[in-house]
A and B are shown apart, each in its own frame.
Chain A
Amino acid sequence: MTIALGRTRARVRARWAETATGYALVALPLAVLCVLVLMPASVAVVETVIVTGPDGPRLSLDHYTAFFADPFARRNLIYSLIQTAASTATVLAIALAIAVYLRFGTGRAVRVVHALALFPLFVPAIIAAYALIRFLGPNGLFQMLLERVGIGGYASPYLTPLGPFIGFVWEGLPLPVLVLTAGLAQVSDHAIEAARDLGAGGVRIFREILLPQVTRSLLIACSLVFLGIFGSYTIPYMMGPAAPEMMGVFMQRTYDQLQRPQDAQVQAVVSFLVCALVSVAYVRLILKERR
């Protein structure tokens, strides 16, 4: 009796020790997360809704009405959204096509395509952007190649909205390919053969068997690519037009060149809010039980 009680007590004590050790070990990175991510984001929100007037500080949306009243800022925001949405949709469409090819293709070409599609994973954005400028820029190698085969009148995408678009597609391709290839690998050949025996065509197999398998992966990839592009700086700064600017470039200029950190803070919070829908979707997707 006493021995059993002693054992239970020892077990309870071991349980407590394990919990305490667990919290102790995860405390430091959690502190970093709180101090360097959650705190600055909250500070930005709180500080931009407090306006100090003649009769002390008060709660107000003045900074935000000022942002939306500025046609220049509004144009940058809308341009960022369109640029991001168009690039994300294109990246995912290409990645899906490649992933389907990788699932059903045969022979050596499959391995070559797989390796090529993952190549940008090994090239940092700054180098990719510079390389694309040299390749696609005016009098670049691409133009010379086109002229060799008799195609003239090349208009370089460099410093037009098409520039960052190409950069985003380049840099964004591997992640969705990776995720979708893993998802499609789970579809069994039997299921597809069975559907084919029942007379289902290619489109129907894609829509009713393949797509449901990868929906979750596709949505996660979609939100990650979207957030990645909206929150980028290097590619739009190096390849994009001077006006309109994407939000990253706009914020950097406001913060650094114009020396107006508070306005940059307002722009940052507007970016958080605009992306909130995608952010929430991402968090909900990762919280959903994995199948």
Chain B
Amino acid sequence: MGRRIDPATIAGWCLAAALVLFLVGPILTVIIYAFAEQWRYPNLLPTRWGFRFWNVMLGRADVAEAISISLAIAFTATTLSALICWPAAYAFARLRFPGRQPLLMAFLAAQAFPKFALFIAIAVVFLRFDLVGTFWGVVLVQLVNTLLFMIWIPTAAFRAIPPALEEAALDLGASRLRVFIEVTLPQAAPALAASYILAFVGTLFEVDASLLIGAPTIRPMPILMLSLSAQVVVQHAAVLCVILWVPAFALLLLSRRLMSARTIASGLGA
């Protein structure tokens, strides 16, 4: 009995193959480059493998410094953002006050600007307050980037918790604070964590705002990456790419597990 091959299945696998070539091919190339000591044209694989460039990059002072400044900026900006946004998200989800919905929408409106033009406008204002080239200047501009995720995802999460649960606990005589800590917070925790991770990784890899506001004194990892990418020795940037991307990929996968695709889409108003 011959197995009939469905043309739709063939089309599906062709599509998958095309996507592998176009989407995975480039990343794979960089990963191979990071472990190539020598890669002569026209060989499909490196002519000599090794870790020489890893030793070089891991020993460089500017790499270590860029990593530490990046982590400091991302941690400060995201934590600050969480402190001001999460309580607001709770208010948007649970408290009734006039203008609640329009105010929530206002945070989406920040998406309506072409980003780089907005950063230019911010940079010009920051110039006057001597915030350009400072740590806090970069933290502030990164705060703008995190607002949307840190408000919309937690708001959706708080809204998804059935109010009946909280009411039942209140009826049993628990205080509002205790209900919040013991009932509401544990239920919202995965989405809160996901929003934190998304904002953290986003900040860590943000180029445009860091470049405008941070230059020339503050040089986080993506800016170092930008300058290395123009150099002749391919492996330096390739190794840095792998060092940066592997942890980011793991964190983003984790955040994806913590929330649905629908939540990500709703975070953009779609």
A40 touches B124 (CB 8 A): yes
Contacts of A29 in B (CB 8 A): 84-85, 88, 107, 147, 150-151
Contacts of B125 in A (CB 8 A): 39-40, 43
Q: Please, how many angstroms separate the alpha-carbon atoms of A267 and B123 in the complex?
A: 13
Question: Number of contact residues on A: which range applies?
Answer: 35 or more
Q: Does B181 contact A (CB under 8 A)?
A: no
A234 touches B208 (CB 8 A): yes
Q: Does A210 contact B (CB under 8 A)?
A: no
Question: Number of contact residues on B: which range applies?
Answer: 35 or more
Determine which of B143, B150, B229 lies in contact with A36 in the assembled complex, contact meaning CB atoms within 8 Å: B143
CB within 8 Å: A-B pair count: 285
Contacts of B264 in A (CB 8 A): 178
A248 touches B118 (CB 8 A): no
Interface residues of B in 7-39 (CB under 8 A from A): 8-9, 11-13, 15-16, 19-20, 22-30, 32-33
> Which applies to chain B's interface (DSSP): helix, strand, loop or mixed?
helix
Q: Does A130 contact B (CB under 8 A)?
A: yes
The closest CB in chain B to the CB of A181 belongs to: B261
Contacts of A8 in B (CB 8 A): none
Contacts of B226 in A (CB 8 A): 126, 234, 237-238
A26 touches B229 (CB 8 A): no
A233 touches B27 (CB 8 A): no
Contacts of B15 in A (CB 8 A): 98, 101, 109, 113
- Least CB distance from B195 to A in Å reads 13
Q: Does B153 contact A (CB under 8 A)?
A: no
Q: Please, how many angstroms separate the alpha-carbon atoms of A136 and B29 in the complex?
A: 10
B95 touches A21 (CB 8 A): yes
Q: Please, how many angstroms separate the alpha-carbon atoms of A137 and B137 in the complex?
A: 36
A220 touches B91 (CB 8 A): no
Interface residues of B in 230-258 (CB under 8 A from A): 234, 237-238, 241, 244-245, 248-249, 252-253, 256
| Other 6 A-B pairs with CB < 8 A, given A25-B90, A232-B208 | A127-B244, A128-B26, A130-B229, A131-B30, A141-B44, A265-B120
Top-9 shortest CB links A-B: A231-B114, A109-B12, A22-B97, A124-B205, A131-B26, A231-B115, A135-B26, A25-B91, A279-B112
8 inter-chain pairs at a CB distance below 8 angstroms, sorted by A residue, are A21-B91, A101-B11, A130-B225, A135-B29, A144-B44, A224-B268, A227-B113, A262-B124
Name B residues whose Cβ lies closer than 8 Å to a Cβ of A: 8-9, 11-13, 15-16, 19-20, 22-30, 32-33, 41-44, 84-85, 87-88, 90-92, 95-98, 100, 103, 105-118, 120-125, 127, 140-141, 143-144, 147, 150-151, 201, 205, 207-208, 211-212, 215, 222, 225-226, 229, 234, 237-238, 241, 244-245, 248-249, 252-253, 256, 261-262, 264-265, 268-270
